[in-house]
A and B are shown apart, each in its own frame.
Chain A
Amino acid sequence: MTSIKGAVALAGALAAAFCASIAPAQEKYPSRPVQIIVPWGPGGGADQLARLTAKLAEPMLGTSFPVVNTPGATGATGMEKLLTDQADGYSMAIYIADTNALLAGPKPRWKLSDIQPVAVMMQVPSFLFVAQNSPIKDWAQFEKEAKAKPKTLKVATLGYGSVDDMTMQYLASKGIQIVEVPYAKPSERYVSVIGGHVDALYEQAGDVRQFINNKQIRPIIIFGKERLPAFKDVPCSYELGYKIALPQFRSYVVKAGTPKDRVKLLSDTLQKVSANPEFQKFLEENYSAKDSFLPADKAETYLAAQVDDMKEAMVKKQ
């Protein structure tokens, strides 16, 4: 038992010594690793963004940015982790549209005022895709079919309550009634459309680019305000009279109450990251707008506006 007392005493003495020697000095930020919380599993889009950011930001600030995956509850588990940590700028989290959508739903676990946006890194429009050999040639035909036989066309989406769902609800309110089939796993979602089990797939182009390039699927509509240069022949929702554009965005947030200068430093660093050619290439591969980046203050209004848009889309269905 004496050894244990010894260990305690030793630890105590060490702690006291370093407390005395280090604590009073003004802490330079960042003086230790800044963790990036990814509320999704390893390997996904959010994870890729975090790991690329970490790689590019490390030499800029001279500290490491370890990536921490905290999957669960559409990102809520990760947000919980961010919000229980201290607001000292040593934890930031990836915050995506689907997590933001929870705020528009019933009983959200946090409020927009609990978090401080640092930067929006990517804004990616969503598409409807059909299989290459599908009898449906384009959006006009899809629309006609859906109106002629309501609730027969099947569209694969992420799940109810997601951004995908809101867009489908909006379309339903405009008379395009389809059966929404939720597939939580991406691989199952993609098999479902290529294998012909569903008629269309709601997805961001970057996540399925190998299928597009292989000519296994093709887009029929972009949900956005304008067409994309990469898909010149694909109409966008606004030109067709559907006023809905809920882009998938990926942003960084910290806990509210983080010192302003630290938020500014992080935001500036992320801006430099986003200007990096490697990051630009990443944006291009994901068909993300080149000027996706929004600094802290603009990100704040952007997130709030998105929540309002989603609430509006939800109200319309009733």
Chain B
Amino acid sequence: MQETIHQLALGFTHLLTLSHAASLVVGLVVGMLVAVLPGLTLVMGVVLALPFTYGMDVTSSIILLTAMYLSGTYGGAFTSILFRIPGEPLDVPLLWDGYPMARKGQPAQALGWVLLAVFWGGLITCVSAVVLAVPFAKFALRFDSPEYFAVVLLGLSGVVALGGGSLAKALISLCIGLMLATVGVDDTYGVDRFTFGVPILKDGIEYLTVMVGAYGLGEVLTRMEQGFVSPTMDSGGRVETRLPRWRDVWELRPTIGRSSLIGIICGIVPGAGATVGSFVAYGIENQYGKRRAQLGSGIPEGIVAPQVASTATVGGHMVPLLALGIPGSGATAVILGAFLLHGVQPGPQIFQTEAAMVYTIFASMFAAVFGMCLLGYFAIKPLIRVLQLPEAVTSAFVALFCFVGAYSARNSLTDLWMIVIFGVVGYLFERFRFPIAPMVLGIILGPIAETSFMTSMIAYQNDWTVFFTRPIAGTFMAFTILALAYPMYRQLRSAWRATRPATRRLQPGK
């Protein structure tokens, strides 16, 4: 332990060189920009930065990419909360509470909570990376497809409760999402499914188009129908960043604790990552949070839980990357590429052979968390100013961002049609009070769920008990069953009460 701290302190001193500090700052700023522009994904940004690292020394280049990665998980929060465009799938849960809070006239507070969540998630992830790196790296190796499936199922189940009042509607919406995900070429057999001979269906339905269309364009259309009058938005010149008060933060400590843990675990699991972490954290909050009834109306818990978890996955991803050379996500795969490019082999031996470098990277992660929060703090003010522009003008640009965002993912005109279709679908769902969230969840997690399920069945000769008998998978399955059974029980009880209101008095609370 003392050794670790000593190494880390040395790492901080190494950070003080010009090239390391410069790449930290550049990485933070570029990462933030990439995430704010919805057309650019985090992975894309890291790939684009990779060539610039050819000429740098290895430590600087890893610092640059890691800083981009960290601040990239933050930037998407701005567009999600202010314009309802999720930059990355991991930002989707932020729409459910962050956007309503901003619409209530409190965008500054909403962004303040995000800032707090990022700060905490970032710190906890750095600490976990430093402390857990060596012992827990092996943990990742115990994951195989049954475990992936169990984790994703937990992600799916937690948010089934997102239908708000109606479990049935949530399930239907989820099934629609899962079915949309199956359109196109399937991953296991490579056959066309549900394409009906229509060429544009053969490319499959990209989750990004559903996500950005249903939320971004759908919202623009909804507001257009209302004639772009949003009475709550232009509340005078009082735009200042509102950091949450210490008392309010202390209130949220169970939420923060749960989400940090979820984030770290989802980070270490290869393949799960920030998206699953953020969904699971929101779902868990929905099940066990103290104020779960108000969740979705714009309360801080709904912002803090997913953001803490998604930021907390970053350190988790770095652990298997450094200790085993296994990248758990697209962005870490690129970082691995940068290591190899400079002739450094990540693996168990790296903590001995390249200790100075490893701990400088860890130190840079700590510094990046502070830098990112500082950057965010100053970015909030100008960004909220954008909301005071005429709504018709900003909405036109939001619509354009949706189109360009969808187009740049695959450079395919098909996806533009999908954006229009799902924009209208999103509007209709909103209009008829049908939940969008489960559908988006279904299309994001559906493919992972299906392939990990199919792979498990093939690898274990159709023995479905593997999901329960393998210890890690079994644990996750138990959580899933709990998460599913509890709301069903609640639903049945309330349905029973509703049909027979006279026989029983309403009980307060839970």
Given known pairs A69-B411, A195-B143, A197-B459, the reply for A159 and B184 (CB within 8 Å) is: no
Q: Is the CB of B349 within 8 A of A181?
A: no
Q: Is the CB of A48 within 8 A of B145?
A: no
A271 within 8 A of B: no
Q: Is the CB of B410 within 8 A of A182?
A: no
User: Interface readout for B390-422 with A: 1 if CB under 8 Å, 0 if not?
Assistant: 000000000000000000001110000000000
Q: Is the CB of B190 within 8 A of A161?
A: yes
Q: Which residues of A (23-48) have their CB < 8 Å from a CB of B?
A: 37, 41-44, 47-48
User: Interface readout for A131-162 with B: 1 if CB under 8 Å, 0 if not?
Assistant: 00000000000000000000000100001111
User: Interface readout for B450-469 with A: 1 if CB under 8 Å, 0 if not?
Assistant: 01001100110100000000
Q: Is the CB of B190 within 8 A of A74?
A: yes
Q: Which residues of A (211-240) have their CB < 8 Å from a CB of B?
A: 211, 213-214, 216
For B192, the chain A residues whose CB sits under 8 A away are 107
A76 within 8 A of B: yes
B254 within 8 A of A: no
Q: Is the CB of A160 within 8 A of B140?
A: no
CA distance A76 to B50 in the complex (A): 27
For A74, the chain B residues whose CB sits under 8 A away are 185, 190
B253 within 8 A of A: no
Interface segment, one of A186-194, A246-254, A299-307:
A186-194
B187 within 8 A of A: yes
B474 within 8 A of A: no
Q: Is the CB of A51 within 8 A of B51?
A: yes
Task: Name, among B50, B326, B336, the residue most crowded by chain A CB atoms within 10 Å (CB to CB).
Answer: B326
Q: Is the CB of B190 within 8 A of A181?
A: no
A55 within 8 A of B: yes
For A213, the chain B residues whose CB sits under 8 A away are 345
Q: Is the CB of A184 within 8 A of B203?
A: no
Nearest CB in chain B: distance from A123 CB, A: 21
User: Interface readout for A168-190 with B: 1 if CB under 8 Å, 0 if not?
Assistant: 00000000000111111111101
B330 within 8 A of A: yes
CA distance A296 to B270 in the complex (A): 41
| B328 and chain A: residue at smallest CB distance | A187
Q: Is the CB of B144 within 8 A of A191?
A: yes
- In the complex, number of A-B residue pairs with CB atoms less than 8 Å apart: 143
Q: Is the CB of B190 within 8 A of A159?
A: yes
B324 within 8 A of A: yes
| A152 and chain B: residue at smallest CB distance | B461
Q: Is the CB of B203 within 8 A of A73?
A: yes
Q: Is the CB of B345 within 8 A of A70?
A: no
B501 within 8 A of A: no
Place the interface of chain B in its size category.
35 or more
For B140, the chain A residues whose CB sits under 8 A away are 191
User: Interface readout for B141-155 with A: 1 if CB under 8 Å, 0 if not?
Assistant: 111110010000000
CA distance A109 to B202 in the complex (A): 10
Q: Is the CB of A80 within 8 A of B411?
A: no
For B345, the chain A residues whose CB sits under 8 A away are 210, 213-214
Q: Is the interface of A mostly helix, strand, loop or mixed?
A: mixed
CA distance A185 to B140 in the complex (A): 15
CA distance A17 to B235 in the complex (A): 48
Given known pairs A41-B330, A187-B271, A213-B345, the reply for A72 and B184 (CB within 8 Å) is: yes
Q: Is the CB of B187 within 8 A of A184?
A: yes
Q: Is the CB of B185 within 8 A of A43?
A: no
B446 within 8 A of A: no
| B410 and chain A: residue at smallest CB distance | A70
CA distance A184 to B145 in the complex (A): 11
Q: Is the CB of A43 within 8 A of B334?
A: yes
Q: Which residues of A (78-125) have their CB < 8 Å from a CB of B?
A: 80-81, 102, 105, 107, 109
Q: Is the CB of A188 within 8 A of B348?
A: no
For A77, the chain B residues whose CB sits under 8 A away are 203-204, 410, 412
Specify which of A69, A73, A190 is in contact with B44 (CB 8 Å cutoff): A69
Nearest CB in chain A: distance from B232 CB, A: 30
Q: Which 6 A-B pairs have the closest CB atoms?
A: A195-B141, A214-B347, A161-B190, A42-B47, A197-B144, A73-B185
What would 12 more interface pairs be, CB under 8 Å, given A42-B43, A73-B184, A102-B190? A41-B330, A43-B46, A69-B410, A69-B411, A72-B204, A109-B202, A160-B190, A183-B145, A185-B271, A192-B144, A194-B324, A216-B347
**Chain B interface residues toward A at CB < 8 A:** 43-44, 46-47, 50-51, 140-145, 148, 184-185, 187-190, 192, 199, 202-204, 206, 270-271, 324-328, 330, 333-334, 336-337, 339-340, 345-349, 410-412, 451, 454-455, 458-459, 461
25 interchain pairs (CB within 8 A)?
Answer: A37-B411, A41-B330, A43-B43, A43-B46, A51-B50, A51-B51, A69-B44, A69-B411, A72-B184, A72-B185, A72-B203, A72-B204, A73-B185, A77-B203, A80-B203, A160-B190, A182-B455, A187-B327, A187-B328, A191-B143, A197-B144, A198-B459, A209-B340, A210-B325, A214-B345
